[in-house]
DNA sequence: TACTCGGTCACT
DNA sequence: CAGTGACCG
């Protein structure tokens, strides 16, 4: 036992868990003050039995209303209850207002120490440092205690205000002093929340997360509870096992059932070996420790969610039974998800990398428990892309079914990243500063960095797509009819290998990279729009600060002609009955070669269209706006070097609605040239101000981003469940701008990103045949088929693009100061830049500068680097809060 | 025929 | 790593 006791003050933490009191209700009461003091509950829209309660106010709780009730039940218990319905959007509940309120609270609670957002209405704080500082100033007089602090409860001390206050001011034990000081800080924070956000919350204060969480729930609402170490044994003796975090479910049940345990104290008496035998080494040890009130789980420094998801259930006979309905709802979910992603990008500079679609379904109406499956793919921003990709994923799931009943669907965007993974891009260009020696370039080219390697382009592959119109069938929710809407998606690819040079060449270039620059009206405009430059030295790039709200532009490729394959797509979508069939009745679906041929056919490579949509684009709002030929698009980008010219707006003739938008010069002007460049779309602000260096905005489409290492691991990848549909919706570059993802690292990877997930198209064989065949056998057959198809595309695409590139006039490149992307040139000494200058920079640039600084320090003082990282992290979230708390 | 709609984490 | 499942509220 002794070894588990705190022996060193340095290990002792002061942790708080803060939990908003019936948060959704408070949010609604703040919105509508008439509800204050009245029995209130928030119900989620759901006509069945009055909707489900997701929050119940304390007045209503006093009247017996419980969270598990439906709205109707609540009314029975409390006839005068105010039932507030959660806002809805896109046909589903929309929790945005609660998320925003939660962020508001977090911005207040994160002031005094490391803060971890645990959920929409809960945070953990590590107040160790703040408490230590505060310990010197703990009032010795009870009258000096803050009013909120006087309401503290101290476990093991008579729950009497004055006693608690006495306790707070009279500690002699270090651990208790620490908690007492933390409790005062927490009281102040809670008071700040009450005053500034007008929300009440409850808190627990203890030495770790588990105890703090336990404590926050002990006295609600608007109170706080402190759990001194000494109180643990007494507390646990009576505490039901299930109250411990993580033991509320099956694990807790199994402990109860198999070991006959009831309380946490019971658990404490189970030998470690027994626990480990039953639940494994890790879980066993974890149980052993938590039963003693010990918990090492750190308070993470994270105030933003790690993923965004939205989902909807279709219970009972609401289950979706055909693809049009599925697609409709996928789109509704995509609308919300896209909005949230854009908001996150604008506010926090973060971009998701992965799209996950989850489906719960059964295959017979009678089947009891639904089957849950999730599939994922790289995410491309934009409602249409999300819709198309997610629908592909979902359809992949359902394609094996003769019939399906989807009872729930969800989309989520994960792998949110705020900063480039590697510092390659900035270190690369920092090295270029004339007369300045960059530490980052010493220590050799970060050869381990794929990002850097990629930038040097062993094989530069540029790609653009031509899509086709795919018939999209969207069920009209109200009328129950279906309507066709055009959707650009898919699109066939075209490739050029514009640069070769293997390992040797790359290595030399890493050391002495030259970045060519070309003047272009876009560049000029961005530069002009960006306003005066700060004073000078180094170069970074970012782009205009100009607001681009309003119309968004997407560079999408498309043909006006529907290929047979695309028609087939439409058919598949509109005729769900086909799901699960082999497509034998449709030649277009019979083999992948066939599909490939069609898609690669003449008509598939005709145009690049510039599509615009409003920020709140809804079904049917998109319109095809501009058509450019591929040649026009490629236009002035000539040269065979991968890092050649920028797109030339002269060659881009955008016409149509977009031109006459009500937007001011920003949108209009950039739109003019944007159709063919990587003009940021819905993420305009951020794209312009942020990741330009990585993503190569505003020209230089051949630049590093699109260079791809030709690591050919095709065989393997080709078997991973994707099929080539030959349709790229947009250029790799444009897509990266939207995605903020690194270029695919292999040719195969590139295709996979472009590919639509495997659909119901399988082989000529019938379902019966397949049922008889072994899975392995079938898969390998498919793999071969797919591989042949891909090879055909490679050859074709390369040839075509090479032709185009050779036709294009070569660019007049200036070799100027290293610049990647276009837009503002920020000039400063990155090694000595002061905080206020740094603060002015776009978030992404800030992040890269910090990363570069860290990298440098890492070499010089590895230990200090860790500290710096922490400090920087705290710094990096500041803008978010500054914005939020305004 | 119904605990929604979010989230996080660990395992494999 | 993609996918599943446990757990939380």
Q: Cβ distance A262 to A269 under 8 Å?
A: no
pLDDT digits (tens, 9 = 90+) for A24-38: 999 999 999 999 999
Q: Is the pLDDT of residue A407 over 80?
A: yes
Q: Is the pLDDT of residue A536 over 60?
A: no
pLDDT averaged over chain A? 58
pLDDT digits (tens, 9 = 90+) for A743-757: 223 323 333 333 222
Q: Which nucleotide is nearest to A122 (CA to C1')?
A: C9
**Comparison of pLDDT for A442 and A270, the residue scoring more:** A270
3-state DSSP assignment of residue A595: helix
Bases on strand C under 7 Å from any protein CB = 2-9
Mean pLDDT (whole number) for A648-670: 26
CA–CA separation, A483 vs A93, rounded Å?
24
What's residue A619's pLDDT?
23
**Which residues have a Cβ under 8 Å from the Cβ of A355 and sit 6 or more positions away?**
A376, A377, A378, A379, A386, A389, A390, A393, A411, A412, A413
Beta strands at A92-93 and A15-20: parallel, antiparallel or unpaired: unpaired
Mean pLDDT (whole number) for A179-204: 95
**Comparison of pLDDT for A786 and A339, the residue scoring more:** A339
Cis omega (within 30 of 0) for bond into A697: no
Residues with CB under 7 A from strand C: A 119, 122, 213, 217, 245-252, 354, 372-376, 721
Q: Is the pLDDT of residue A779 over 90?
A: no
Mean pLDDT (whole number) for A179-196: 95
Which positions 565-594 on chain A have a beta carbon less than 7 angstroms from any atom of strand B?
Answer: none
Distance A300 CA to B8 C1' (A): 12
What's residue A621's pLDDT?
22
**Which residues have a Cβ under 8 Å from the Cβ of A199 and sit 6 or more positions away?**
A20, A21, A23, A26, A27, A30, A101, A105, A193
Residue nearest to nucleotide C1 (CA to C1'): A376
Q: Dihedral of CA A858/A860/A862/A863: which sign?
A: negative
Which positions 395-424 on chain A have a beta carbon less than 7 angstroms from any atom of strand B?
Answer: 408, 410, 412
Burial of A532 (0-12, 13-18, 19+ CB in 10 A): exposed
Closest CA to A379 of A370, A371, A388: A388
What's residue A378's pLDDT?
93
Burial of A641 (0-12, 13-18, 19+ CB in 10 A): middle
Distance A483 CA to C9 C1' (A): 39
What's residue A859's pLDDT?
53
Length of chain A: 886
Which positions 100-159 on chain A have a beta carbon less than 7 angstroms from any atom of strand B?
Answer: 119-120
Whole-prediction pTM value?
A: 0.55
What is the number of alpha carbons within 13 Å of residue A211 lying toward its C-beta? 30
Burial of A694 (0-12, 13-18, 19+ CB in 10 A): buried
The percent of chain A in helix, strand and coil, each rounded to the nearest 5, is 45, 20, 35
Q: Is the pLDDT of residue A240 over 50?
A: yes
CA–CA separation, A348 vs A684, rounded Å?
14
**Which residues have a Cβ under 8 Å from the Cβ of A302 and sit 6 or more positions away?**
A115, A116, A117
Bases on strand B under 7 Å from any protein CB = 1-11
What's residue A861's pLDDT?
54
Q: Cβ distance A675 to A652 under 8 Å?
A: yes
- The alpha-carbon radius of gyration of chain A (Å, integer) is 30
CA–CA separation, A814 vs A514, rounded Å?
10
What's residue A860's pLDDT?
57
Instruction: Catalytic residue, from A59, A104, A122, A342: name it.
Output: A122
Q: Is the pLDDT of residue A211 over 90?
A: yes
Residue nearest to nucleotide B1 (CA to C1'): A316
CA–CA separation, A430 vs A441, rounded Å?
8
CA–CA separation, A591 vs A786, rounded Å?
9
Q: Which nucleotide is nearest to A242 (CA to C1')?
A: C7
Q: Which domains does chain A have, with CATH numbers?
A: 11-238 (3.30.70.270), 308-418 (3.30.1490.100)
Q: Does the CB of A324 fall within 7 Å of any strand B atom?
A: no
Beta strands at A152-154 and A224-226: parallel, antiparallel or unpaired: parallel
Annotated catalytic, A346? no
Residue nearest to nucleotide B7 (CA to C1'): A119
What's residue A831's pLDDT?
59
pLDDT digits (tens, 9 = 90+) for A424-438: 233 222 222 233 332
Distance A250 CA to C6 C1' (A): 8
pLDDT digits (tens, 9 = 90+) for A808-862: 222 222 222 222 222 233 444 555 666 655 554 444 344 445 545 555 555 555 5
Alpha helices in A88-173 (DSSP H): 96-109, 128-135, 147-150, 161-169
Distance A251 CA to C6 C1' (A): 9
Residue A856 in tokens: 């440098």
Alpha helices in A369-413 (DSSP H): 383-398
Q: What are residue A26's DSSP bridge partners?
A: none
**Which residues have a Cβ under 8 Å from the Cβ of A682 and sit 6 or more positions away?**
A338, A342, A381, A382, A552, A554, A615, A738
């Amino acid at each position: 036992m002794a070894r588990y006791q705190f022996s060193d003050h340095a290990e002792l933490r002061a942790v708080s868990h803060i939990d908003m009191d019936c948060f959704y209700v408070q949010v609604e009461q703040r919105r509508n003050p008439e509800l204050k003091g009245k029995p209130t509950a928030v119900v989620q829209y759901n006509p069945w039995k009055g909707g489900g309660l997701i929050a119940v106010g304390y007045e209503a709780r006093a009247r017996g209303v419980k969270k598990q009730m439906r709205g109707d039940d609540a009314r029975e218990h409390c006839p005068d209850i105010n039932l507030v319905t959660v806002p809805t959007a896109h046909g589903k509940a929309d929790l945005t207002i609660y998320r925003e309120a939660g962020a508001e609270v977090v911005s207040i609670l994160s002031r005094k120490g490391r803060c971890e957002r645990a959920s929409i209405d809960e945070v953990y704080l590590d107040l160790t440092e703040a408490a230590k500082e505060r310990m010197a100033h703990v009032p010795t007089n009870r009258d000096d205690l803050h009013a909120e602090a006087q309401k503290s409860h101290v476990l093991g001390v008579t729950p009497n205000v004055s006693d608690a206050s006495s306790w707070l001011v009279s500690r002699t034990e270090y651990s208790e002093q620490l908690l007492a000081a933390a409790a005062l800080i927490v009281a102040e924070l809670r008071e700040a929340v009450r005053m500034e956000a007008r929300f009440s919350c409850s808190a627990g204060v203890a030495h770790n997360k588990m105890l703090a969480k336990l404590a926050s729930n002990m006295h609600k609402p608007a109170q706080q509870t402190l759990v001194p170490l000494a109180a643990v044994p007494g507390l646990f003796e009576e505490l039901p096992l299930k109250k411990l975090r993580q033991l509320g479910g099956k694990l807790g049940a199994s402990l109860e059932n198999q070991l006959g345990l009831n309380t946490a104290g019971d658990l404490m008496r189970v030998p470690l070996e027994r626990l480990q035998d039953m639940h494994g080494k890790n879980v066993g040890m974890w149980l052993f420790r938590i039963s003693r009130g010990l918990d090492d789980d750190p308070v993470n420094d994270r105030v933003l969610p790690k993923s965004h998801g939205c989902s909807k259930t279709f219970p009972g006979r609401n289950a979706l039974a055909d693809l049009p309905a599925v697609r409709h709802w996928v789109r509704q979910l995509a609308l919300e998800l896209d909005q949230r992603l854009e908001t996150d990008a604008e506010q926090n500079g973060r971009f998701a990398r992965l799209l996950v679609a989850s489906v719960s379904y059964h295959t017979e109406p009678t089947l009891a428990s639904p089957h849950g499956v999730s599939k994922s793919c790289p995410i491309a921003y934009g409602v249409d892309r999300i819709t198309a990709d997610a629908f592909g994923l979902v359809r992949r799931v359902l394609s094996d079914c003769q019939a399906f009943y989807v009872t729930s669907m969800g989309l989520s965007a994960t792998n949110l990243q705020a900063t480039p993974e590697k510092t390659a891009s900035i270190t690369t260009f920092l090295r270029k500063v004339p007369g300045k020696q960059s530490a980052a370039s010493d220590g050799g080219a970060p050869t381990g960095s794929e990002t850097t390697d990629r930038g040097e382009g062993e094989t530069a592959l540029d790609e653009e797509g031509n899509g086709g119109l795919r018939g999209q069938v969207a069920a009209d929710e109200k009328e129950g009819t279906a309507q066709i809407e055009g959707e650009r998606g898919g699109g066939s690819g075209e490739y050029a290998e514009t640069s070769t040079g293997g390992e040797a060449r790359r290595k030399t270039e890493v050391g002495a990279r030259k970045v060519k620059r070309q003047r272009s009206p876009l560049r000029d405009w961005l530069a002009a729009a960006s306003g005066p430059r700060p004073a000078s030295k180094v170069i970074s790039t970012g782009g205009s600060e100009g607001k681009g709200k309003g119309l968004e532009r997407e560079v999408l490729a498309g043909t006006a002609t529907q290929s047979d394959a695309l028609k087939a797509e439409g058919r598949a979508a509109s005729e769900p009955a086909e799901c699960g069939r082999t497509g034998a009745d449709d030649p277009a679906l019979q083999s992948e070669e066939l599909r490939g041929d069609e898609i690669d056919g003449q008509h598939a490579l005709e145009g690049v269209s510039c599509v615009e949509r409003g920020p709140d684009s809804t079904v049917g709002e998109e319109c095809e706006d501009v058509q450019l030929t591929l040649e026009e698009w490629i236009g002035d980008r000539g040269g065979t070097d991968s890092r050649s010219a920028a797109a030339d707006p002269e060659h881009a003739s955008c016409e149509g609605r977009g031109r006459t938008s009500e937007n001011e010069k920003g949108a209009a002007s950039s739109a003019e040239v944007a159709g063919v460049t990587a003009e940021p779309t819905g993420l305009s602000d951020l794209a312009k101000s942020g990741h330009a260096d990585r993503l190569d905005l505003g020209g230089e489409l051949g630049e590093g981003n699109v260079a791809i290492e030709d690591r050919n691991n095709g065989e393997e990848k080709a078997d991973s469940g994707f099929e080539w549909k030959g349709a790229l919706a947009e250029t790799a570059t444009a897509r990266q701008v939207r995605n903020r993802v690194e270029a695919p690292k292999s040719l195969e990877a590139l295709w996979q990103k472009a590919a639509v997930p495997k659909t119901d198209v399988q082989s000529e064989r019938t379902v019966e045949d397949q049922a008889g065949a072994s899975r392995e056998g079938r898969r390998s057959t498919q793999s071969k088929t797919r591989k042949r198809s891909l090879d055909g595309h490679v050859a074709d695409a390369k040839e075509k693009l090479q032709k185009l590139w050779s036709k294009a006039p070569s660019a007049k490149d200036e070799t100027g100061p290293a610049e990647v992307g276009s837009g503002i040139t920020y000039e400063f000494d990155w090694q000595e830049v002061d905080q206020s200058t740094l603060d002015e920079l776009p978030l992404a640039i800030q992040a890269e500068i910090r990363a570069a600084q860290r990298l440098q320090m890492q070499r010089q003082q590895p230990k200090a680097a860790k500290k710096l990282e922490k400090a920087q992290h705290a710094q990096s979230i500041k803008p978010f809060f500054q914005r939020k708390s305004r």
